Amino acid sequence: MNRPPFEITDRIINLLAETVNKLGNLEATTNKKMDLYLRKASMVKTINSSCAIEANTLTEQQVEGIINGKRIIAPPNEILEVKNAYDAHVKMDEYDPYGTASFLKAHGILMKHLTEDAGRYRSTDVAVYDRGNIVHIGARPQFISGLMDDLFKWAKTSELNSIIKACVLHYEIETIHPFSDGNGRIGRLWQSVILCSYNKLFKLIPTETLVHANQQRYYETIEASRKENSSTAFIEFMLEMILRTMETFNSSRNSLHGIRDECLKNLTKNEKELLRIIISNFDTNATITAGRLCELTDKADSTIRNNLRRLTEERILIASGDNKGRKYVMNKDIFQ
């Protein structure tokens, strides 16, 4: 059982310490109702970003519609990619983070009907190309099973912090390239599986959104690590992405901090919760509807409309139109 090649640098130690500290702060301010909403929103962002990295063109709103069972007009393969990703993510708690059987099962779900050998290691050689040039050759097929078994055995027995192990496995999966297709998706998914097994709060934190936003750096860091035959640079990159996503998440979670205190003093807990959701999902000039908020929160139309009425009475929202056609915009004067 060989330890994958990497070094624990001062930067890795510092990034890890900041991440663990922020996790503790998040745990101390957990709001179950709000976090249930954020978990759903995080899954939408994660699936959208991971698919987008693989050239899927669907928008976040289209991804959300597919997850909610709506009929979306889009290329069938792209819809299937989203459905498969959702099916793989909702089973996250069922996977053994250090079990090859779970790993293969997850790939089978992720790539169902997208590749003929979904859920099975590839049986042929494979190369990764960039602009017609070979940039990486995966492990020979006869060695893949042994390499993956060895990797998971190391991860299971290692006393290294699971956040670092998640980054190491992500990199090693991309390097071994165990499948004919879907290696990037399963690598990112498996990082999330390990992170969520370490702390459930990671279900709220869509790390892949920043990976997508820094996609070129993501590929460059993988390539740089391969040249060094060490995942150190990749670990540093991923820890940075995790930490920055947590900072963005915390800012969104506490988004009412930018609103004047006098605007909030008469609101109930449920009305404040809805206001957080509005601020997190709508620009200040955007049109807000009860129907859209029902989709975002899974709450009854009557509940949403009562909360919107109160937010309008408190001059936090400005309403126009009548009855079911009523629309809302944020009152910009509420912000400090």
Q: What is the pLDDT of residues 80-136, one digit of tens each?
A: 999 999 999 999 999 999 999 999 999 999 999 999 999 999 999 998 887 788 888
CB 110 within 8 Å of CB 135: no
User: What integer pLDDT is reported at residue 135 of this predicted model?
Assistant: 82
Average pLDDT value over all residues in the chain? 91
CATH number of 258-334: 1.10.10.10
CATH number of 10-253: 1.10.3290.10
User: What integer pLDDT is reported at residue 11 of this predicted model?
Assistant: 97
Q: What ranges do the domains of the chain cover?
A: 10-253, 258-334
Label residue 324 exposed, middle or buried (CB < 10 Å: 0-12, 13-18, 19+): exposed
User: Which residue intervals of the chain are DSSP H helices?
Assistant: 10-28, 32-53, 60-67, 76-90, 100-110, 141-157, 162-176, 183-198, 207-213, 215-228, 232-253, 261-264, 269-281, 290-297, 301-313
User: What integer pLDDT is reported at residue 140 of this predicted model?
Assistant: 97
Same fold, 10-253 and 258-334: no
Q: Is the pLDDT score of 244 beyond 80?
A: yes
**Separation of alpha carbons 74 and 63, rounded Å:** 11
Measure CA 2 to chain center: 30
Q: Is the pLDDT score of 253 beyond 70?
A: no
Task: Write the CB contacts of 164 (distance below 8 Å, at least 6 apart in sequence).
Answer: 8, 12, 16, 235, 239
When pLDDT is averaged across residues 147-156 and rounded to a whole number, the result is 97
User: What integer pLDDT is reported at residue 33 of this predicted model?
Assistant: 58
To the nearest whole percent, how much of the chain has pLDDT over 70?
93
